[in-house]
Amino acid sequence: MKLKFIGLFCMLALQHCVSYEPLVLAPAITLSPEQMSLSSNDGNADRIDFGFEVGVNESDSLFNIQALPGVRVRNIDPSGPANSAGLKVGDIILSIDDTITDHPDTVTALQQSGNDDLNFELKVRRGTVVFQAGILARALSPSIAPLELYRSDPIATKAGYQTELVQIAGRPNLVAAKIIEFFPNSPLPSAGLTEGDVVIALNGVELNSAQDLINRLVQDHELGSSVEFTVFSAGNIRAVTVQLWNPGRRISKLSFSPLLNYETGFNPQTTKFTLLNFWLFSLYSFNQVEEEKSHSILGLINYSSDLGELNEE
């Protein structure tokens, strides 16, 4: 019993003496806006235009900002199809031809789906009134503007995704994220995924764009944790467990004062070690900043090596 108590005491003491940090520093990722002024398919494909610009339909409350159903009309071309159909800035588009439009990328995918039929039926909310509007889209000529290839997740899954509409029995025009490219050290191939597989849900919650998948991976999950992709490929739906990229961990601080102290950091790369610290002096101390190293014994004998270079910018 006494040994168990001692062991428990040592474990608790170690938790307070030892700190950890990522072994590989994970850079911060800036999430892109949902709507960008880029095309999302090749310039030779047929494209259409509804004559409006839409954005995420966010709540008006500053204390509880969240995305609501539909996309909000931000701008209308005075000479475009939307204006002719009677739409106004501020209208909420709930669906287009029975395709739920909870994300601007869904509207973009519909405009670039190569549909020969230019007649579309929209379900629109204005205030508390929900109404139906018919719109005759206009065909656009091939564009030479920059083309969006995919949305990139360079950290959590190290892969590129493209918003795509998929046809599944009983669920036409389901919005999904198609895997376009794997980056080095991506965890997806080891999970059995291949380029071309289509992710339709994350942890059982359906996606509404490729950007939505990336946002949720980055904002809602820790690196190294496991998530579940619902994947559609070769006509089958399957659940795939994916462990997000794990940067690993290393000891950042070890302290048994006054016996010894050890610290390391990233920015700049630093390492500090002190043995028998008696406040005014220590038996031995070591300090490294980048390539510059210094040693001290009893505060009397000092030695430096690999001196750093002072650069002016």
CATH number of the domain at 84, please. Answer: 2.30.42.10
Residue type, 240: V
User: Domain residues for 93?
Assistant: 47-140
Same domain, 128 and 156: no
Same domain, 117 and 155: no
| Assigned domain for 134 exists | yes
Q: pTM of the predicted model, to two decimals? A: 0.54
pLDDT for residue 26: 65
pLDDT for residue 22: 63
| Assigned domain for 281 exists | no
Which of 63-67, 145-149, 231-235, 270-274 reaches the highest mean pLDDT? 231-235
Model confidence at 41: pLDDT above 60: no
pLDDT for residue 63: 54
Q: 226 CB contacts (<8 Å, ≥6 apart)?
A: 241, 242, 243, 244
Which residues on neighbouring strands pair with residue 164, listed in sequence order? 176
The strand ranges marked E within 59-184 are 67-76, 92-96, 99-100, 119-126, 129-136, 138-140, 151-153, 159-168, 171-182
Q: What is the pLDDT of residues 102-161, one digit of tens each?
A: 888 888 888 877 667 789 999 999 988 999 999 999 887 665 566 778 899 999 999 999
Percent of the chain topping pLDDT 90: 38
| Assigned domain for 256 exists | no
Is the alpha carbon torsion for 221, 224, 228, 229 positive or negative? positive
Same domain, 113 and 84: yes
CB 272 within 8 A of CB 282: no
User: pLDDT grade, residue 190 (50/70/90)?
Assistant: very high
Same domain, 159 and 229: yes
